[in-house]
Amino acid sequence: MREQREGGEAIMPNETANAGAGEWRAGWPVVLAAAFGLGATSLYFYSLGLIAPQLHKAFGWTLAQITVAPVIISAVNLLASSRVGVLVDRVGARRVAIPGYIAFCLALAALGFAGPQLWTWYALWALLALSFVFTAPSVWTSSIVGAFDRARGLAISLALCALSVTTFLTPRIVVWASAQESWRFAYVALGLGMLVAGAPVIFFAMPRGRRAAATPAPGAAPPAELAGVDFATAVRGLRFWMVATTSLLIGAGVGSTVVFLPLVGLARGLTPSDVAGAAGLMGLAAIVGRLLSGVFLDRLPVRFVAAVIFALPVVACGVLIGAHDVAGLTLVGVLLGVSSGGDFNVLAMLTGRYFGARSYAAIYGQVAAAFNIGVGVGPPLASLAYERIGDFGPVLMGLIALFGLTALIAASLGREPS
């Protein structure tokens, strides 16, 4: 099948393949750096479900009080993400990401010093939030959008595979570190470990200058680096708010299910090692989800891929309602992993395809902020509902309705602009 250049000239399939190969030769270090950044900034999220019961036991804080802490990140990110996005669009991701990454890793390690007063927990999360805005997903995917056009979906998917790796490793690290010392050591090990492993890679691999430049083959279409709408135009349109709403809802749903997965397992008598194994499988399944979604996103309308990805947790929540053994919890982990493997890919591609690269960092910053708001408010609301009702079933039924609504909105976005 032929594609069309601006002006009507046909692009042959071999030109598209050569352009994609040229992008990978020049842009693979960008993907590697983004992988470390994205992986590190997800650690606070995937560790909370296993650390929350330990905090409850140590200090008597309720699950709702503990799991509301990510709301601080959501609020700060909402207020600052568009400004940080504008800064990235002006000076480049490197100057923002390197200091942001170092600060975030140190702030994550500092969570290990919380307690016994509840305010110390919130104060340290505020510190984490201030560093998070400079190393949020929009910062890392912005560099990929600048370096890739033809292979953008697959490039974003490969970078986001780092989230799958951290999903797999984080529960195991938390269980190991808690057994060696305590939950305090778990946070220190996560933060300092990612600082030592990731900072050198990001320093040498992140592109210098305002944007990395895609390198298409001779005769291929030039990269659409400056194509698209500006931030002010985007936020005045209905599509922006539809994308932001899907981001908010999927964040709330995914955040709640990821936190509830270990809580349900522990409440039904499974051991921490069994729960960590099931939760860790989300990471391996997410790799499959990210790679498959990346392939389909480069070939199919992004709204249809989004609808399928956002609908998968409906099945997972249905299984979790009746899951009382390791096999059931493992199946839930696999289903959630495949879905969560594609959510960030889809949101990044929705932003790129519907609004272009001109103000990508600023626009996606707000989309990602909506996701983080959902991640922040979803788990405490779900935990509060569980504490009031005393049963996970009704809460999971509510999540089924939420995921179904999200898929419906995504499917209704309409045809992508040229």
Spans of all domains in the chain: 24-212+225-411
Residue 298 reports pLDDT greater than 80: no
Residue 170 reports pLDDT greater than 50: yes
Residue 12 reports pLDDT greater than 50: no
Listed residue (214, 219, 172) closest to 193, CA to CA: 172
What is the b/e burial string over 277-309, where b = at least 16 CB atoms within 10 angstroms of the residue's CB? Answer: bbbbbbbbbbbbbbbbbbebbbeebbbebbbbb
Q: Report the topology of domain 24-212+225-411.
A: Growth Hormone; Chain: A; (1.20.1250)
Angle between helices 152-180 and 183-205 (to 10 degrees): 150
Q: Which residue has the higher pLDDT, 192 or 7?
A: 192
pLDDT score recorded for residue 86: 80
Is residue 258 within 8 A of residue 382, CB to CB? The reply is: no
- What is the arithmetic mean of pLDDT over 315-340? 84
Phi, psi of 11 (to 5 degrees): -110, 120
pLDDT score recorded for residue 283: 72
pLDDT score recorded for residue 218: 39
Specify whether the backbone of 390 is left (phi greater than 0), alpha (psi in -120 to 50) or beta: left
- Kindly indicate the confidence band of residue 220, based on its pLDDT and cuts at 50, 70 and 90: very low
Which amino acid is located at 37 in the chain? G
Which amino acid is located at 354 in the chain? Y
pLDDT score recorded for residue 5: 43
Average pLDDT, the chain: 82
Angle (nearest 5°) at CA 138 between 146 and 194: 105
Question: pTM of the full predicted structure?
Answer: 0.66
What pLDDT digit, counting tens, does each position of 115-166 carry?
A: 899 999 999 999 999 999 898 887 888 888 777 777 777 788 788 778 778 8
pLDDT score recorded for residue 1: 39
Which amino acid is located at 25 in the chain? R
d(CA 336, CA 314): 9
Mean pLDDT is lowest, of 41-45, 173-177, 395-399, for: 41-45
Residue 4 reports pLDDT greater than 60: no
Residue 104 reports pLDDT greater than 70: yes
d(CA 306, CA 342): 8
| DSSP 8-state class, residue 298 | T
- What is the arithmetic mean of pLDDT over 77-103? 85
pLDDT score recorded for residue 366: 84
pLDDT score recorded for residue 89: 76
Counts of helices then strands in the chain (DSSP H, E) = 16, 2
Q: Which residue has the higher pLDDT, 186 or 290?
A: 186
pLDDT score recorded for residue 258: 78
d(CA 121, CA 105): 17
Name residue, tokens 């609808």: 307
Residue 224 reports pLDDT greater than 60: no
pLDDT score recorded for residue 210: 53
pLDDT score recorded for residue 15: 47
Indicate the SS3 state at residue 196.
Answer: helix
d(CA 60, CA 314): 33
Residue 246 reports pLDDT greater than 90: yes
pLDDT score recorded for residue 383: 81
